[in-house]
Structure 1
Amino acid sequence: MNETHRGQPMQEASEHPTPAVLFARQPIFDASLELVAFELLFRPTDGGPMPMPFDGNQATSTVLLNAFAQGDLNTVSQGKPLFVNFTAETLSDDLPFEASRLVVELLEDIPFDDTIRDQLELLRQRGFTLALDDYAEADATHPCLPLVDIVKLEYPHYSEEGFDHIVRQLRRHYPKIRILAEKLETEEDLRRCQHAGCDLFQGYFLARPQLVHGAVVTTDRLAILKLIATLNKPKVSVGEISSAIERDPTLGVRLLRLVNTAQYQRQIDITSLHQAVALIGTHRIRSLATLLALSEMEDKPESLQQLALSRACLCRELAAGDPSLAEKAFISGLFSYLEAFFNRPLEELVASLPLHASITTALLHHDGPVGTLLETAIRLESGKWNEIPWARLRSLGIKASDVGEANQRALQSMRELQTNAGL
C-alpha cells in the first residue's frame, strides 16, 4: 500500500472550513517523466491520522466510492488510469467500474489460492489492468506474476545489486510485465531505477500525495443492507431491486452516476430507476451495494429520508393515469431533496446525473408536466392549497378531486413502504 501510512501533506490555510477529504492522489510517471497514471490512497475524511487498527476493506471501498461514484471522475483522473489498492475481500469478478479507468492493485498480503486466481482471471477477461504492490521478493517466483500486468518494486527494500537482479529476473521470465519502482526519495533513487530499466516511477521525490477534497456522500446503511438482501433473493426481479433502491435517494444517485460512465452505452436518457437497474444489471448493483455497506459513512436523519420518499410517492400518485409520467414524477420527487442529502447545490448534483430533460427541468425550474406535479406536491405538503398550479394540472387532465385522492393513495403507499422497510 504505497505510502499510505506516511505523514499527511500540508494543506493550505483557508478562511473557510476545509471540505472533507475524499482520498489522496499520487502521480505515477514514465521513463520520460511524463504523467501516465495516479494512485488513489485512503485518507480519513477529517484529514487526521490513520485509524488504528487499519481496515483495508473499508479503505478500498471508501476510495472506490468517492472516486468512481461521487465526484467528477474526469477531473480526478485527468484522463489517466487510477491505481487503487484491493484486499482479498474487496476483489470482485464484477466490479461496477470501467476497466479502462481502474488499475486493480493487489496488496502484498493477499493469500494466493484458487479463488483468488479465478477472480484475477475474470478481471483480466473483462479488461482490467492488474498490478502487484510492494514487491520485495528476491526472485520472480511469486504466484501472482503470471496474471499481472505491472509489478511495483519496493525500491528501499533492495540493495543496489539486489534491485538490479530482480529487474533482470522479471525481464527474463515475464518480458511483457511493466516494472514500477515505488517509494523513490531522492534524485539518485530515480537515476538508479531508470538505469536498471524500470518503466514507471513513483515516490516523494517526484510528487507527494495531494489531498482531494469534496462533500462526502452519505447513505442510509439500513437501506443498503435491505438492498443487499433483496439482491441475494433467488430469481429477484428488476422491479424488486428498483423498489429497494427507492427507499434511499442516495442509492439512486450512485446508481445513475454509474449509468453516466462510458461503459454503459445508451441511446436515450434515463427516465426511471427501473430502466437504470435493467441497464446496469443485478451483479454490478450487488457489487456497488457491497462497497457501500463496507464503507463507513454518516447516516442522514431518518425523517429526511421519509420526507423525500413521501414526496416521491405523492408525485407518482398524481400521475397515476400515465405510467411513463408517473415514473418520471417519482424520481423528481425523490431527488428534489438532493440538496438536503448532499449539502451541495441542486444544479451541480443534477448536472452529474444522466436524467431525462423533463426531470432536470422539473427539478430546477418546476417546468413541464413533471414540474407541475412536483410543484403540486410541494404546495400540498405546505398546506398551500390556493397556490397549487390548478390551470397546469387541468391541462394534464387532473382535477381537484384527483389531487385529494392521489394524496390519500400516497399516504397509504408510504405506510406500506415504511412497514416493508422497517422504517
Structure 2
Amino acid sequence: MTYAYIARQPILNRRKDTIGYELLFRDGPENKFPDVSPELATSRLLTDHFFSAHYDTLGNCLGFVNFPYESLINRIPTLFPAGNLVIEILEDCPPSDDLLDAVKEMSELGYIIALDDFIPNPQWKRFLPYISIIKFDIRLVSIAKAQSFIHKLSKSKIKFLAEKVETYEEFEHAKNAGFDYFQGYFFSKPEVLQTKTLSPALHTVVQLCKEISKADLDFAAIEQIISQDVSLSYKLLSTANSSPLVNSKIRSFKQAVVYLGEEKLRKFVALLAIASTQESKPSHLYALSIQRARFCELVYQQFDCDASSAFLTGLFSLLDSLLDQPLEHILASMPVDDDVKRALLDNQGMLGQVLKLIKAYELAHWQEVSTISQALDLDEKHLCDCYTASVKWTTGLVAMS
C-alpha cells in the first residue's frame, strides 16, 4: 500500500498575518516508494488530500503547491479550482517553450503562478508577465542580492516571498529589502526575550488547561476556574448562544455544557485559553499550539497511556513565543508535571520524542519522521491520519472562535 504525506508551512504578510500555506508533498520517508514517479506522487497527494481536506486545511487562505515539470506541461493544476491555489514552478523546471505555453494558458484561466527557489536568470524574463509571486530562498540568494532584483521589478505587479526566514532579525531585514511575504519558523521563536513575572491570569489558564486535558472532565472544577476569568466566561457563553440549536438564551456555564457537549467544550476551551495569553501574537501561533496538542494526544493514545500530558506538551510548546520569555523561566512558575517539563526543555522521554516528531512533520523532515516513528514503533499511515485529523480539527476550532 502506498501512503501519501502532507505537511503545511504558513506564509505570512508584512503584518505577520497568515495569508497562505505551502502544502508539502512527498512519496514517503527516505524516498520509500521509488516506483512512484514525481507526477504520480503529486496526483496522489492532490487527490488524497487536496480534494478531500482542501477547504478544511486552508480555510480562506491560499494553498501553495509544488508541481513537477510534466504535471505543468499536462496542465494538471487546472483540475483544481483557481480561487486559492498557487501553482509553484519548481526550481529544476527548464524554462522551455512548452512550459511557457502552459504558464500563459493557466495565467489566462486565473491561476496564481509562483517561481519557487528562484535564482535570477535571463531565460526566465519572458515568463515574468505571467508570474504573480517570486520566492527567494535566502539561504541560496542573499537578501541583499534579492533586494537588487526586487528593485529592478519595482514597477511590476509581482510579489516577492522570502523563504527560510529563521529569525526575527531576518524577517525585519527581508521586510526592509522589499519582500511582501515570508515563510519560515521565525515566528515560533521569541521576538524579544523579556524577564517578567507571570500574571495571575496565566495561572488560571494553566489550571484550566490541566482540567480539560484529563480523561474524565470535572465540570464543577472547570466551572469554578472559568468563573474567575470574565473574558473566558463571556466567550464560552457567546459561543454556546451562537449555536443554531439554541432556542432560548443560555445564561450559565452548566447550560453551555449541555449544548456544546464534552468534546467541543474540551477543545474549544483549550483554544480560548492559549489564545488569551497574548492577543498581539499572530493567530497562526495559537492554532499551531492547538494543532500540536491534538497531534501529540492522538499519537500518544497508541501507547495506552494517559494522553493528557501529551496534550499539554503540545499546547505549551510555543509558550516562549506567546509570552516573549525563555521557556525554562516560564515552566519554573507553572504547575505542570516533570515529564512535561523535561519534554519541553530537553526533548526527553517519550513525550519529548513525540514533540520532536510533530516538529519534524511540520517541517517535512521525512528522514527524521521515519527515524522517530521506527523508534516508537508507530505506523506511518496512522501517523499521517493523526496529522490530517489534527489540522482539520484545529481549523474547525479557529473558525468557531
Per the normalisation by structure 2, the TM-score is 0.43
Answer with 1 or 2: which has the greater Rg.
1
Per the normalisation by structure 1, the TM-score is 0.41
